[in-house]
Structure 1
Amino acid sequence: MITVVTGTSTGVGKTVATAALAVTSPGSVLVVKPVQTGARDGDSDAREVGRLAGVDTVEWTVLDEPLAPDTAARRQGVEIPLVASYAARLRGLLQDSVLVEGAGGLLVRLDAAGGTLLDLASDLGTVAEIDVVVVVAAGLGTLNHTELTVDALRARGLAVRGLVVGSWPAEPGLAERCNLEDLARVAPVLAVIPEGAGALSREEFVAAAPGWFAQVR
């Protein structure tokens, strides 16, 4: 089973959510980051997932600047693979559960030809069993961003497993509390991850993650 993890925007907690999904996925788990930007600053979403969840991870295209992949590649003067090549590599993986973490939002360009994570998921969906998890923010604006992302996925015929709130505040306000109820009208809310979860140790994270899913069932 391949699960594509996307976000409604950057900074919504996608990497921590991917780690939580890895902890709660059955069988052998591999997390794939097709494109990692910001490597010059030492950023690595895959390494962070591995640190938190203790699963195998791989990165395929690594770029220096923390920008959209095609922009980062153009500025760095390197040619990056087409989305179709990532899809071909993913189809060859044999793990029970493969999680594919995108870069930024669903329609951010992953290659110089305009290919996006939506295109990657659509390509995979023609030959493999896949679903998509959308990581969302808790505050104002999240309903519109979530509707747009989910509508784009469903328009391509892709199954949206549900939503994960990537960073739930310790003291949620009225907007956050109302949004949590309203998000469930867009797609099932699978989990609510507390803010600061990424600072936990591996042992703490692995112990806590199943509870983040159980609390919304």
Structure 2
Amino acid sequence: MSVLFVTGTGTEIGKTVTTAAIAAATLRQGRSVAVLKAAQTGLTADEPGDAAEVGRLAGAVTVSELARFPEPLAPETAARRAGLPPVRPQEIAEAAAKLAASHDLVLVEGAGGLLVRFDGDGNTLADAARMAGAPVLVVVQAGLGTLNTTALTALALRSHGLACPGVVVGSWPAEPDLAARCNLDDLPEAAGAPLLGLVPEGSGALPAPAFRAAAPDWLAPELGGSGAFAPRDAAAEPAATAP
């Protein structure tokens, strides 16, 4: 795949750091990467956005941002309140295609979840991915409640005729609880797609060189990972303690 859309089951679950990890792993394979942020909200013009953060963590990627709106709202709402034109799905698809002409991989990061509105016509990231003919990777939470939001997102993807190569846990806890460990077995069934990565919580705070060195180990080979990714090891029950 030359274009991969990255969405999440909600906000603040690790989409940007996951995008950076995929970019870093791909760069280590000697392939070129571009990162497209469809719409950045909640930042002023002089603040670094998600695409810039991917570049900081991953390294030599081409970064692009189609629009920026100052209030931390859904893209359509933020554009309307700012009196600015919204981002249309055709613009996203066309920008991704243009970048794909000169890069081995284009990562298109959405805003919030899959069905967040981008314009007044109700178009979403799903519409942009359909126009681009691109698959959609889903970044999910680790713990209780993730199976429902993952299943709903998978249902929405299928209803739009979109392929999902898999899911990635965007912030895997250092000490996962029972729900998180069980979810590693249950997430593929909820998603109808394989589990392709576990990005450790706090990874975005690592120094960039350490992030780039470690990123391949967090991902399955399908996402440029090294093969060290082993979800069943993470799912192992903690050792029993003596009474």
Same fold (TM over 0.5): yes
Q: Name structure 1 gaps, 5 residues minimum.
A: none
Aligned counterpart, 1:73 = 79
Aligned counterpart, 1:209 = 215
Aligned counterpart, 1:22 = 23
Q: What TM-score does the superposition give when structure 1 sets the normalisation length?
A: 0.93
Larger radius of gyration: 2
The alpha carbon displacement at 1:39 in A equals: 1.2
| AA aligned opposite 2:195 | V
Aligned counterpart, 2:241 = none
Aligned counterpart, 2:236 = none
The alpha carbon displacement at 1:202 in A equals: 1.1
Distance 2:218 2:88 in 1: 36
Aligned counterpart, 1:62 = 68
1:48 lines up with 2:53 in the alignment: yes
Of 105, 109, 114, the residue aligned with 1:106 is 114
Q: Secondary structure at the match of 1:143?
A: helix
| AA aligned opposite 2:54 | V
Q: What TM-score does the superposition give when structure 2 sets the normalisation length?
A: 0.84
1:49-198 correspondence runs (5 A): 49-54=54-59, 55-93=61-99, 94=101, 95-125=103-133, 130-185=134-189, 186=191, 187-198=193-204
The alpha carbon displacement at 1:112 in A equals: 2.4
Aligned residue-pair number:
213
Deviations 1:65-92 (A, max 9, x none): 1110111111111122321122122222
Distance 1:135 1:43 in 2: 22
Calculate the aligned-residue CA RMSD, in Å.
1.5
Distance 2:11 2:19 in 1: 14
Distance 2:152 2:87 in 1: 27
